[in-house]
Structure 1
Amino acid sequence: MPSTIITPLFAFTCAFVNKLVHQEKLKSIDELRSHPKRDQLLNKTQQLGLKYLEEFEQKIPRDEMKQMETILLREITAIDNQLRAEIVGSYRRGATASSDIDVLVTHPTVAKLPSLLHKIVETLTKQFHFVTDTISIGDSKFMGVCQIDTSKLHRRIDIRVFPSEQYYCALLYFTGNDQLNRHMRIVAQEQGYKLNEYSIQKVGSTGTLSKPLPVTSERDIFDYLQMDYKEPHERNM
């Protein structure tokens, strides 16, 4: 079986798939698709993972990512000109191809963020027909499926909203890569800070945390940790 079907994202685990194949005597993905009890065996997220399995396995070329970026930024900022959005992950690090689209969004008014996220998704779904399926949506995160047009493959998309005071910590974290994030958290701990995707805080002698330190750019975080700043394309450790 292709590995995508057992990724954590779609709640498939090796144990689950092996049990399912054994119990139902399945030999292939197509057999699972045509199984009369498929909808009972799989939850909604798993059904979407199965539906788009082969498409999700294909990397997204950078040119297509750029087209998606143009669409997303145009439609998001049209909703509210105070919204700021950026495509993060490997795309921001300059990758020639990406596995999915990760979008970070912020707005200076915190109370507006949940309603704005829902408005963004509604616009991309009903008005622009860019979002084709919703996996889940809450107050701060949307997970779904998108497609530029019917000639293109379906792609996975996540949209997260953050208050402006948390935005640059989130931008750093979700740009990655994972190795750099781990390294920076270790440096932060060694220097008496706690760093995560929400904030950087000073750790007191008793272990108490200070209020989040002011962060107005990614460079501020590097400065707090006395590290040389790395441009996004330099973060592939």
Structure 2
Amino acid sequence: MNELIISIFSNLIKVNEYLTKTSNDSNFKIQNEFRIRSLKNALRTIKNLSTDIKDIKELDGISGIGKGIKDRINEIIKTKKLKELDELCKNIDCLNLNKINIKDELLNIVGVGEIFVNKLLNIYKITSVKEFIDLVQNKKIKVSSTIELGIKYYNKLKFNIPRQEITKTLDYLETEISKIDDSIIIQICGSYRRQKLTSNDIDLLVTIPTILEEDKNLEKDIIQKIVKKLHDNNFLLDDITPQATDKYMGFIKYAKFPVRRIDIRFIPFLSWYPAILYFTGSKDLNLMMRNKAKKLGYKLNEYGIFKGSKNILVESEEEIFNLLEIKYLEPQERNF
């Protein structure tokens, strides 16, 4: 149910943004900006929920979910649609709204970026993902090898990855990677570590406690051994980064599950906990912590927490929170 609510709220925001942009009524623009902000706050809250909404009462007491938002969600739960959105769509230029939606769909293709999408829409006048794919396959539009892979797996990558699937994939990876070197430690980060129900892709961090600092040759050797092992097992299907160094990007297929995107990064152990913190997120938490670090005379990023040029060795994420005088948050508490 959460995915349907998220989809409808996303479209409601797009419609209201379009109406605001095209209106000449300054009062309407101001009022609609408040409405959009409220919808975006609610959407962010819903995206960060760790359980599926089945009853509107489950939202009682949650910040950012007022009566108007609850009424909309309740209608979606009961009818699987939102009359407000349907009515608005009757009164706008559907061609322009479709253009917004097509842009979002094109950006979902692996390798496709904002500049290229604008070129597709404004120069090639693309009206659908299918039209774009047909033009590429008929060699009317030249694209990178990464976009070719994105097209190849587009229909298989449309849906988010359920948490249970990632857990089973992690178990498999732990077993297979330990056969290469049992001192290797791995961790899946992102929304999975924040206990979310679904994730867009799999973000795997790899380290070895004896490799404290950056050593490109060692890192490349370990990543290449992992990639070879997973290719030999037919777990890896296609490589976005065929010449992997300390980072690999590609496509996987495990057991009966669909094709998924995976990133594998080697992290020197001195950077391990800062990297876990960074790649776990959320983005808003990372920004808040970086700003607090700056105020206290530190620099915080995925490579470490620095005092001047010195990278401070920390043995847990909690140590970083303590250094920055911030109350420690468990991963599932970082969804904001």
TM-score with structure 1 setting the length: 0.88
User: Whole-Å Cα distance in 2 between the matches of residues 69 and 49 of structure 1?
Assistant: 23
Aligned with residue 120 of structure 2, among 20, 45, 55: 20
User: Whole-Å Cα distance in 2 between the matches of residues 187 and 224 of structure 1?
Assistant: 10
Matched residue, 2:283: 178
Q: Cα distance, 1:231 vs. partner?
A: 1.1
User: Whole-Å Cα distance in 2 between the matches of residues 210 and 17 of structure 1?
Assistant: 40
User: Whole-Å Cα distance in 2 between the matches of residues 143 and 159 of structure 1?
Assistant: 6
Unaligned runs of 5+ in 1: 203-208
- Whether the 8 Å contact between 2:165 and 2:257 is mirrored in structure 1 is no
Matched, 1:95 2:178: no
Matched residue, 2:247: 141
Secondary structure of the residue aligned to 2:173 is helix
Secondary structure of the residue aligned to 1:143 is strand
Deviations along 1:169-193, one digit per CA (max 9) or x if unpaired, are 1011001111110110111111111
Secondary structure of the residue aligned to 2:328 is coil
User: Whole-Å Cα distance in 2 between the matches of residues 236 and 148 of structure 1?
Assistant: 28
Secondary structure of the residue aligned to 1:46 is helix
User: Whole-Å Cα distance in 2 between the matches of residues 105 and 186 of structure 1?
Assistant: 27
- Count the aligned residue pairs: 227
User: Whole-Å Cα distance in 1 between the matches of residues 160 and 103 of structure 2?
Assistant: 14
Deviations along 1:29-66, one digit per CA (max 9) or x if unpaired, are 3333333115x611111111112122222010111111
Matched, 1:6 2:107: yes
- Whether the 8 Å contact between 2:163 and 2:199 is mirrored in structure 1 is yes
User: Whole-Å Cα distance in 2 between the matches of residues 7 and 182 of structure 1?
Assistant: 25
Where do residues 17-166 of structure 1 align in structure 2 (5 Å cutoff)?
17-20=117-120, 23-24=123-124, 26-35=126-135, 36-37=138-139, 41-110=142-211, 111=215, 112-126=218-232, 128-136=233-241, 137-149=243-255, 151-166=256-271
Percentage of matched positions with identical amino acids: 40
Larger strand proportion of the pair: 1
Q: Cα distance, 1:152 vs. partner?
A: 2.5
Q: Cα distance, 1:71 vs. partner?
A: 1.1
